[in-house]
Amino acid sequence: MSNSRRNFLQKLALSAIALPLLPSYATSDLDQWSTIDPQKPVLRVALMGLGGYAQHVAEAMQSCKRAKITALISGTPSKLEEWGKKYNVPEQNHYNYANFDDIKNNPEVDAIYVITPNSLHHDQVIRVARAGKHAICEKPMAINAEEGREMVDACEAAGVKLLIGYRMRFEPNTLEVVRMRNDGEFGNIKFFQGLSGFRIGDPNQWRLNKELAGGGSLMDIGIYAINGARYMIGEDPIWVTAQETKTDPIKFKEGVDETIQFQLGFPNGAVASCLSTYNMGSLDRFFLNGEKGFAEMRPSTGYGPIKGRTNKGELNHPHVPHQTIQMDEMASIILDGKTPILSVDGKVGLQDMKIIDAIYRACASGQRQELDLT
C-alpha cells in the first residue's frame, strides 16, 4: 500500500468512526470466568481506535479480573485526553497513528487491541507485531484473505499472538450449545440457519465506504453467520454458493453489498442457509437442527443477553458483558497459554476471510465455489 493511500485511509477513518451498529440486547465458560484467579498476572492492553465499539470494550474491561487498559492510541487529541482521564491512563501512554511504533519501548503494554476500520487492520497489526506486542484485532481481521495471511505470518515471525475479537466464541449460552452438540445430544447435524442484519443508518459512515470497509454487510454483520455456522455445526465448510440483492444502489454503491444470501456445504452432509443484510431488521437468529434435537438462539450475536432454547429447554446462563469475558479469556490465552473451547486465533480469522472471498466470487460468477480452509 502506498503512503499516499495509507494516509488517505487513516485520515478518512479518524473522522468517520461511528457508533457500533449491532442491535443492543441487553456452564462451562461462564463458570470458568467467574473463578478466574485475580492473583495471576494482568494483561496490559492498549486500545487503538477510540470509536463506538471501543467504548463498549473499555466499559466492559472495568469489570475484568485479568485485563486492564494501560495505553491509548488515537488520531484525535481530545479523545486521548478525555479517555485518559476517564480510564486513568497517563499522558506518557498516549499515542497517535504516526508514533505508536514507539510503544515497543513501553513495558506497561503487553497487547494492542486494534479497533479501527477494516482496511486499516492489515498495516496496523503488522506494525503491532513489529513492535513486539501481542495483537488483538477486531473482526473482520482484514479485507481479504491475502491480507489476513500476511498478518498471520507477521505475527508468527515476530513471535507474538494474533487473536480476533470473536466475542461470541466465549459466550456461555453459545458454549452450552457447542457442548451439547459435542456430546451428541442433537445427533447428526443436518441444517443451520444464520440470519444477520439490520437497517444501516448514516449513508456517509465508513461502513458504507468500500475503501475503508472492504465491502458491505457481509464484512460487518454477515461474518457472524459465517463464523456461527462453523462453531454451531462443528465443521468447516467445503463449498459455498451465494446471491446478491441490491435495492438501493445510491446508498449501497459499487462494491458495498446490501444483502447477500449464501449457502455453505459441510463434510458431514450438513448445509447452512444464511442471510447478511444492511436493509432488514428483526433478524439476529441462529437455528441448528440435528437428527435428535435442535437449538435456537434469538438474539444470537447481539451485545446481550443472548437468549435461546433447545429441545431440552431454555438456555439460562446469566449475562455478563461479552467483552468482559472475552478480554479475561484472552488474558489467559496470552499469559497462561490456555487453549480455549473455541479458538479465536488469526488462523480462524483467515479462514473466515477465505470464505468471504469465495462468497463474493460466487455472487459475481453465479457458480459454486469450492473451499480449502487448510
Instruction: Label residue 10 by pLDDT band (50, 70, 90).
Output: low
The predicted pLDDT at position 33 comes to: 58
Q: What's at 66, amino acid-wise?
A: R
* Beta-sheet strand order (sheet of 239-245): 313-315, 308-310, 294-297, 285-290, 189-197, 271-277, 259-265, 239-245, 369-370
Locate the domains of the chain by residue range: 3-167, 168-317+346-370
CATH class assigned to 3-167? alpha beta
Stated pTM of the model: 0.91
Flag whether pLDDT at 19 surpasses 50.
no
The predicted pLDDT at position 36 comes to: 67
Flag whether pLDDT at 335 surpasses 70.
yes
Instruction: Label residue 27 by pLDDT band (50, 70, 90).
Output: very low
The single residue listed with the C-alpha cell 463474493 is 360
Beta-strand relationship, 67-73 and 43-48: parallel
Q: What angle do CA 32, 38, 44 make, to 5 degrees?
A: 105
Residue pair 47/72 in contact (Cβ under 8 Å)? The answer is: yes
Mean of per-residue pLDDT scores for the chain: 93
Between residues 322 and 13, which one has the greater pLDDT? Answer: 322
The predicted pLDDT at position 16 comes to: 46
The CATH topology of domain 168-317+346-370 is: Dihydrodipicolinate Reductase; domain 2 (3.30.360)
Catalytic residues: 139, 224
The predicted pLDDT at position 34 comes to: 63
Instruction: Label residue 211 by pLDDT band (50, 70, 90).
Output: very high
Mean pLDDT of 268-290: 97
The predicted pLDDT at position 23 comes to: 31
Report how far residue 24's alpha carbon sits from residue 326's, in angstroms, rounded to the nearest whole number. Answer: 18
Q: What CA–CA distances, in Å, run from 130 to 4, 43, 112, 328?
A: 22, 19, 12, 24
Between residues 8 and 272, which one has the greater pLDDT? Answer: 272
Residues in the chain: 374
Flag whether pLDDT at 24 surpasses 60.
no
49-80 tens-digit pLDDT: 999 999 999 999 999 999 999 999 999 999 99
141-150 tens-digit pLDDT: 999 999 999 9
Q: CB neighbours of 52 closer than 8 A, spacing ≥ 6?
A: 17, 18, 19, 20
Flag whether pLDDT at 228 surpasses 90.
yes
Segment among 30-39, 270-279, 295-304, 358-367 with least mean pLDDT: 30-39
Which is nearest to 352 in space by CA: 262, 261, 225?
225
The predicted pLDDT at position 6 comes to: 52
Instruction: Label residue 37 by pLDDT band (50, 70, 90).
Output: confident
Report how far residue 86's alpha carbon sits from residue 73's, in angstroms, rounded to the nearest whole number. Answer: 15
162-202 tens-digit pLDDT: 999 999 999 999 999 999 999 999 999 999 999 999 999 99
Percent of the chain clearing pLDDT 70 (strictly above): 90
284-312 tens-digit pLDDT: 999 999 999 999 999 999 998 999 999 99
